[in-house]
Every structure is written in C-alpha cells, then in structure tokens.
Amino acid sequence: MARVEQSYSAHTKAMNARGVFTSVEIPYVVFETTDEDAALSAVLAETPSTYGALPLESVEIDSRENATTYKVNAIYKKETSSSDDDDDDDPETTVSFDCGGGSKHMTHSLKQTKAFGTKDAGGAIGWNGKSGSEMEITGIDIPTAQLRETYTRVMKLSRISTSFKRNVAALVGKVNSGGFKGWAAGEVMFLGMSYSCPDKRSTKVSVAFNFAIQPNESGARVGGKSVSKKGFEYVWALSKTSAENGAPKAEVEAIYVDQVCEYASFGALGL
C-alpha cells in the first residue's frame, strides 16, 4: 500500500499586495508504489481539501525518484469567476515560420579541382599539406538555411504550474523522437517557451513555444562518400595521408555520424 509523507522541501507560495495567499504548492513524497495514478490518488486521499481559504485545485506528478517513489505536488489556488472557467484553453494554436541565413562548417568539399601542384588534398579544405600528427584541416564556414517555428496558444495561468515549467525545461535542447507538426523524427529541436503577464488579475496568458528545424539528409556528401543523418546529428571525417606517384595525398579514412542531442516526445507541451 502506498505511503504518503509531506516533503521537507519548501512550499511554493504566492501572496498578493494585501497579504492574501493566491496560490500554494505543497510537496509530498509517495513511497511503495510503481504507478503514477496510484501515487496521485494516494496524495489526493491524504492532503487537506483547503489551505487556509484556498481550495485544492489539483495534484500533479513532480518527478519519479526511483522505481517505487514519486514526488507529487498538491496545488491550491484562488477560485476564479465562472466567466474564467467556462472554457478550456483557446483551442486555436497559431504558428509562425522563419527561414533565415546561418552557417555551417565544412572540412571536405563536394567537388575539388587541383588547379596547380602535385599534392592531392582528397577533398579536404584548408589542408596544411603535412602528414601524421602535424596534419591539419581548417575547413570553411558556408551559408546555410536556419529554420525556426513558433507555436503560440492561449493558456490558463493555473495550468502553468511549477511542475509544468519543470517538464518544459527538461525538454529544452531535446529533439523530437517521433513525428511533430509535419516534421519527421530527428528534425525538430525544442528551444523553450516564453510568456509575460503584467496584469496580476489575468487568468489567461499567450504562451510561445519555439523550435529550430534541421531537415534529415539521406545523401549528405563527405569526402566523396554519401551518408545519411538525422537533422541534428553531426557528421565528421577522419583523414589520413598517403603517397601517390611520390606525391603526398590526403584521403578520407573514416566517416562518423554522431548523435549529440537527446531524443524525447513533445507531447507534454500540449500542442
């Protein structure tokens, strides 16, 4: 049977200018359960229905500490008027798209012509002509497209809890593990969300979710070789030198495709 204890972590509280609490979050720890629903139900059964004059609005999973332990927050908020609660978040999500200029670094060309001399650079750009440990390839930065999408939706402030913010923060820098808004898995990176709310009496706010787009490639060319990579994977080549007809020659020895970003589902964003 699940065991519930109030956490020693500090409560999250908000108070208005009149000294009245407007929201309170009380952390709990649930032991001996392996199910999120059971953890939520256990806290719901144990926590008081009110905190002072504030009614209990919801209980939310904060984190899973281990196989049988959860952190759960009980959230108390001031009730809003019926006019504020007569509908859910605005179902219409707006989207903006931007395709601007950026740059990427290339160490090997798509096609190289030797205009003079006997050394063969093997497609390497900026090779210093040396071999072994002294070999260097400086490469060059070239223009490339930078794609960005921003999705904006109206949300109730009551939904943007500390737990929601933590979930959003955990996704920053992650890349989509599945299809997202028409883009294939591996093409979208979440850059974060933002909103502002100058009016203390506001109950809804416009929230912007920002994404970077990098299309997958099925035929990226590196040193004359064709490789496939997901949008935010990194491709690089290892070069070596040899001799051809007595003249030094640089050539690609190996090509690597590295996953440098974690993959995740963006379902928690609610878009």
The pLDDT value recorded for residue 84 is: 45
Q: Are the C-beta atoms of 57 and 75 separated by less than 8 Å?
A: yes
Written as one letter, the residue type at 26 is I
Residue 152 neighbours by CB under 8 Å, 6+ apart:
93, 94, 95, 96, 206, 207, 208, 209
The pLDDT value recorded for residue 86 is: 44
Could you tell me the CA-to-CA distances from 133 to 128, 136, 137, 231, 235 in Å, in that order? 12, 8, 12, 32, 22
CA-to-CA distance for 271 and 258, rounded, in angstroms?
29
**pLDDT, averaged in runs of 10, over the chain (271 residues):** 83 79 89 90 91 88 88 82 47 79 74 72 76 78 84 88 90 93 94 81 85 90 82 85 77 86 90 82
Q: Are the C-beta atoms of 199 and 205 separated by less than 8 Å?
A: no
The pLDDT value recorded for residue 265 is: 92
Domain range summary for the chain, segments of one domain joined by +: 1-79, 82-271
The pLDDT value recorded for residue 185 is: 93
The pLDDT value recorded for residue 208 is: 94
Residue 28 neighbours by CB under 8 Å, 6+ apart:
4, 5, 6, 7, 43, 46, 47, 71, 72, 73, 74
The pLDDT value recorded for residue 91 is: 58
